[in-house]
Structures are given as C-alpha cells and as structure tokens.
Amino acid sequence: MSTYQYTDDLQLLKQDLSGKDWLVACLCAAWCDTCTAYRTHFQELAARHPDKCFAWIDIEESAHLVDEIEIENFPTLLIQYQDQVAFLGTMLPDTGQLHRLIGSLQESLASAPIKRSALNQQAPAGWNLRQLILAE
C-alpha cells in the first residue's frame, strides 16, 4: 500500500521517499479550485503505484522546496527518478494521462537513460526536489 503523504508532515514524506527511487509530486496551491478537485484523484493514483513516493506540495506552505522554479499554472507536476528530473510541467488534471506518463518513463528507463522532452519546464541547474525533501 502506498504511504501517500502531504507536506504538512515532511518527516513522513521523507521516510517514504528515502525508500523509493521515484518521486511524483503535484505542486499546487490551496486556493486553486482545480488542484482541490484533482487531489482525491491524485491520491487514488498513488495507491496504484505503491513503489513510488507521491507528494502533494503546497507551493505557498512549502515555498522553500520550490522557490527556485517558476510555477505559472496548476497543477504542475514533477516526476523524478532518483536525482534526475524526468518531467516538470503543467499537465491537465487527468490522472489517466499522468498514469500513462509514469508508465512510459518507467519503460524507457529499462532500455536507456531518461530523456526529457523539450516541452518540459527547465529546472534550474542543481535544483533537486528529492534532495530538498530528504534534507528536511
């Protein structure tokens, strides 16, 4: 069973992440109605991927984790394998689409290193959400 965590308890999130290679994070805001509607579906998807750490990160409450990236639209999603950002960008609030993307990234990793699409938002050099969470 997935230990889906929220950033109001970063220690539990840190524990879950320390034992998993994949981080799937939804970067959102409490005032965003789209994010609020998406949250339950995101949590349900987490249960389908118990080998991955799913995190719901409020960009205002946990600004110190995301202050180096520019978030213009919601939901913004990050998929990271170990220390490599595989995807960072806005995605329609459709967990079916996210599920397919996760599967595609996981399959591609089996045959070659992950290549980020040119459509991805660029993360600043050295920015690593996984390491920021683990350093908490």
Q: 80-103: per-residue pLDDT in tens?
A: 999 888 899 999 999 999 999 999
Q: Residue 110: pLDDT band by 50, 70, 90 thresholds? A: confident
For position 6, what pLDDT does the model report?
A: 47
Q: Residue 11: pLDDT band by 50, 70, 90 thresholds? A: confident
Dist. CA 68–CA 71, nearest whole Å = 10
Centre a 10 Å sphere on the Cβ of residue 60 and count the other Cβ atoms it contains. Answer: 11
pLDDT tens digit string along 25-81? 999 999 999 999 999 999 999 999 999 999 999 999 889 999 888 888 999 999 999
Q: Which of 55, 123, 59 is nearest to 85 (CA)?
A: 123
Dist. CA 57–CA 64, nearest whole Å = 11
Question: Domains (ranges, CATH) in the chain?
Answer: 5-134 (3.40.30.10)
